[in-house]
Amino acid sequence: MTPARRITLAAAALAASAALVLTGCSNQDAGSAATFTDGRITEAELNAQIDEVLAAKGQSGTTEDPGLVQQTLGRMITTRLIDELAEDSGITVTQGQIDSMIANYEAQLGGSESLRIAFLSENVAPSQINAFLRLQIQAQALGIELAPRGSAEEQGAAVYQAVSDYSQQVDTTVSPRFGTWDPQSLSLGPVPNDLSVPPLVQ
């Protein structure tokens, strides 16, 4: 398996092993992209992350990319859920751990620029790499805690189930303008048929 492929699989595994509503408007606050019982992800926060990716790609902030919007929001939801589960489990991540993982990827890929390109191909801006790797380390630690004697696949499945359960527990809900959230598959699906594909929010 090539190093670049490892990066791609890491992104896919993160989205799948601990990746994340049911359409609804009753608990949607104005300006919310996603809501939980204890908070929300605002459209402004979503836009900021999208703008970082577009800027890194040299594209205009007015570029319409519904796929990027959904992928970014899904990752933001996943980040929040895993971060809360990790905090509840007493899992912490040091900058040293992140730096070590970056160094390993750079060694595999052939340098920092190759690393940047590989992550950007997964719509992770350079400014978002640290947070992405922090999430990956948290997910790995959760897997070890949930299935200490399990294989990597079993640990991933344990994290997947834990995040799915927690997603439902905190009533994860996405504005139907951005798609539909399925806590069972932990994925952000297409916009409901009765709504148009959302433009890139400004």
The answer to whether residue 130 is domain-embedded is yes
Angle at 72 between CA 17 and CA 200, to 5 degrees: 155
The answer to whether residue 61 is domain-embedded is yes
The answer to whether residue 193 is domain-embedded is no
Query: pTM above 0.75?
Result: yes
Q: Taking the chain (202 residues) in consecutive chunks of 10 residues, what is each chunk's mean pLDDT?
A: 50 42 41 94 96 93 86 94 96 97 96 97 96 96 96 96 96 91 82 54 42
| Dist. CA 41–CA 116, nearest whole Å | 26
161: domain CATH number is 1.10.4030
Contacts of 93 (CB under 8 A, 6+ apart): 86, 134, 137, 138, 141
- What is the residue range of 123's domain? 3-184
Of 152, 170, 137, nearest in space to 34 by CA: 170
The answer to whether residue 192 is domain-embedded is no
The answer to whether residue 60 is domain-embedded is yes
Number of domains in the chain: 1
The answer to whether residue 12 is domain-embedded is yes
The answer to whether residue 74 is domain-embedded is yes
